[in-house]
Structure 1
Amino acid sequence: MNKANYSKQQITEALIDLLQKTSIEDITITSLVTKAHVSRNAFYNNYQSVEDVLKEAYRQAHQKAFQNKYIDISYFTSDEAILDFIQFFDKNTALLLALQKWNLLPYIAKYNTHCILNSLEQSNNPFIHQYKEYFMIYHTIPYFQICYYWILSDKKETPQELFQMIKQLQKQS
């Protein structure tokens, strides 16, 4: 890993770690570079603001959770996808709440849409290919919204209870 990528990785990991213990309002560039063990120059060589680090941290977390899973269309209709959404929200609660506080939910939506639509573009199914936006909305937005509400509600249910509730909602439809 080259020095620039190493610095970026250190900074994003430091931000995620700080978010577990500190309010986003209290995170400064100084506290971030101190935690990351990098210089301010390393920070400004890679980012312009904490907002940029939040976006990068989200991209990395999303890629880690969903990398190569969108390739198979059947993934979107599987229990694995539901469980992955729940696990992603459970593991990244602080990051997602920080993104909300910085009004970056539109960024998340745009990023997620881009990733999923690129994957669906490869579909051999003519119906899915023609209506990929509707397919994406139908199969991902409800899970995202439910999981988002779950973290806003302080995760009153366990991840397994949330999964069972989603499955029950599917049966009720």
Structure 2
Amino acid sequence: MAATNHSRQIKQDSQIYLITALLQILKNKNLNDITVTQVVKRAGVSRMAFYRNFETLNDVLIAYFKPKIDAEFNLIINKVPPEEKIAALGNFFAETSDTMELAVKRNYEFIIQNIFKENMLNFYDAVIDWSNFSAIQKKYWTRFMSAGVYAIWREWLIDGQTDSLNDIHVLLSDFQTSTLKALKAEENF
């Protein structure tokens, strides 16, 4: 049993070293310009240790970002009162602005965007009563809105965060409310 616990600890340590090494390298290089060899050298682990834990460098970033973003969305979905959810989402955007700016600059934004999209779909499943909508309306509205929210967040970050978060919250809320109303009206035709 001790060997099993020891093996698990070594695997977990290797993952942490690899994640840390990749994040350090990303401060100065684009993801596309980084090799597994550079990461394992920086981490002080073998290539075998890398491939025991991950298949690609993208997987390293997913292992780092997914639990963080998932936890934040879980908190917003389950702990924040309904009237404060959009504001909480906006605060999350503000808190992660440096991370997002680096992701855009270093060409790994798509990883964060995919994790974000998955969480937005869960968010809308949890906060909207879909009983008055068709499956196709739900499917495409949630994808449309998650892409739109992401685009607004990205633009706000790239634009230097000059617009107030409150204005962004109001805009998002208006978009969500008006598009849901349009879907409901569609059912009456």
TM-score interval, smaller chain: 0.5 to 0.7
Larger CA deviation: 58-67 vs 11-20: 58-67
Q: Distance in 2 between matches of 1:118 and 1:91?
A: 22
Q: Distance in 1 between matches of 2:119 and 2:23?
A: 22
Q: Distance in 1 between matches of 2:130 and 2:174?
A: 29
Aligned to 1:47: 54
Aligned to 1:161: 163
CA RMSD between the two structures:
3.7
**Structure number with larger C-alpha Rg:** 2
| Secondary structure at the counterpart of residue 21 of structure 1 | coil
1:17 and 2:20 matched: no
1:143 to 1:162, Cα distance in 2 relative to 1, 3 A? farther
Contact persistence 2:76–2:88 (CA under 8 A): no
Q: Distance in 2 between matches of 1:112 and 1:6?
A: 27
> TM-score with structure 2 length normalisation?
0.63
What is the percentage of aligned positions where both structures have the same residue?
19
| Secondary structure at the counterpart of residue 92 of structure 1 | helix
1:82 and 2:90 matched: yes
Structure 1, unpaired ranges of 5+: none
1:92-103 aligned within 5 A: 92-96=100-104, 97-100=106-109
Residue by residue, what CA displacement relative to the aligned partner does 1:18-68 show, whole Å, maximum 9, x if unpaired?
111222233111221122222221101111222322332331442354342
Aligned to 1:115: 119
Q: What is the aligned counterpart of 1:91 among 84, 99, 103?
A: 99
Contact persistence 2:86–2:169 (CA under 8 A): no
Q: Distance in 1 between matches of 2:77 and 2:22?
A: 27
Q: Distance in 2 between matches of 1:129 and 1:35?
A: 52
Residue by residue, what CA displacement relative to the aligned partner does 1:91-150 show, whole Å, maximum 9, x if unpaired?
2332355224xxx46x843x4444344455556946489775467457643331122234
| Secondary structure at the counterpart of residue 82 of structure 2 | helix
Q: What is the aligned counterpart of 2:149 among 127, 130, 143?
A: 143
